[in-house]
Amino acid sequence: MTPTTPLTYRDAGVDIDAGNAVVERIKPLVRRSFRPEVMGGLGGFGALFDLSGKYREPVLVSGTDGVGTKLKLAQQLGRHDTIGIDLVGMCVNDVLVQGAEPLFFLDYFATGKLDVDTTVAVVGGIARGCELAGCALIGGETAEMPDMYAPGEYDLAGFTVGAVEKSRLLDGGNVRAGDVLIGLASSGPHSNGYSLIRRILERAGLDRAGSPLGFDLGGVTLEDALMAPTALYVKPILDLLRTHGGAEGAIHAMAHITGGGLTENIIRVVPDGLGLDIDASTWKFPPVFDWLQREGSVAREEMWRTFNCGIGFVLVVTPSTVAAIEADLDRLALAHWRIGSVVAAGDGPRVRIG
């Protein structure tokens, strides 16, 4: 039988007008992240960025990431305005490890049914993260896909491209035994370990919408501690690298502490034949990690390989320059600790945390 009622894309669950409304509302937020190198505005099929005249021998460094199941918690709590900062942080902090300045960022936002206010809040957070990191949000994709996601759910992915002079690229090749590890404070769990975090909330009976996550946790609520956006290290570390970076500089390597925690991330920038001795007594566990460990009965070794445990970024530096670098970190208002050193690898694990 021939249907008598014409069908539209909206009938199929896709609202083009809502998508257009999102674009109009995010335009001023996105423009605030623009840099002089951005060519044109939003709406083209491709985003343009002029790299001429800025580098002699540019090496492009790219990165992509998401925010994992922290999204589930954000959606449960209705906190959509900072999850975009997490998305930016997970990408730009990664390319920063090799000394690269993040130049531009693109996002992918997918949902079953587009809610304009939620989408604008999320993308607004992405734009704010780009602004804080000094990179331009020059493009993205908003996808409305009925039946792919449950009501109220959305997914995020981010992509960034950075650049560094070839002569100032950090690849860990200069790391030596005796080098000192300086750990920079995290703002919380960042965007890692949230599948375990949500299981711990479930065990504590706090996994349902409306559950009381507002109790005090060392001067901050549990909800705020878990939803604190990922720290953006870009601007202060680029400042530090101008003085201490480069192939012959005092900073031999850097590490972003993400999935795999302290056990598996720092060692990624350490050459074979070398290991790490980390002294956990040199900094204090932030209260949120104490709560997670206690409520989940999580073994200390599991904490090390799942969470950043209060250390979000690590510098590997020459022993003779530690004091000077620490003075600059104080000037840049970055909380930091000497957390260990590079050692010759023995027969046991390459990473020892005691």
**What are the extents of the domains in the chain?**
16-168, 180-353
- Model confidence pLDDT, tens digit, residues 203-249: 988 877 666 788 888 889 999 999 999 999 999 999 999 999 876 78
Round to whole Å and give the CA distance between 165 and 55: 6
Nearest residue to 31 via CA among 42, 19, 15: 42
Q: Is the pLDDT of residue 1 over 60?
A: no
In this structure, what are the phi and psi dihedrals at residue 9, rounded to the nearest 5 degrees? -60, -35
- Superfamily assignment of 180-353 in CATH? PurM-like C-terminal domain (3.90.650.10)
User: Mapping DSSP to helix (H, G, I), strand (E, B) and coil, where does residue 252 land?
Assistant: strand
Measure the CA–CA gap between 51 and 273, rounded to whole angstroms.
39
Query: Topology of domain 16-168, per CATH?
Result: 60s Ribosomal Protein L30; Chain: A; (3.30.1330)
Contact 62, 161 (CB under 8 A): yes
CA dihedral 303, 229, 234, 292 (to 10 degrees): -10
E-state strands within the chain: 38-39, 48-49, 58-65, 101-111, 136-144, 154-165, 180-185, 251-256, 274-278, 311-317, 336-344, 351-353
The pTM of the full predicted model, rounded to 2 decimals, is 0.93
State residue 2's pLDDT score: 59
Confidence of residue 62 (pLDDT cuts 50, 70, 90): very high
pLDDT in tens, 318-339: 999 999 999 999 999 999 999 9
Q: What is the DSSP string of 224-275?
A: HHHHPPPP--HHHHHHHHHHH-STTSSEEEEEE--TTHHHHHGGGGS-TTEE
- For residues 213 and 101, which has the higher predicted lDDT (pLDDT)? 101
291-300: average pLDDT: 96
Quick check: 21 pLDDT over 90? no
In angstroms, the CA 140 to CA 47 distance is 9
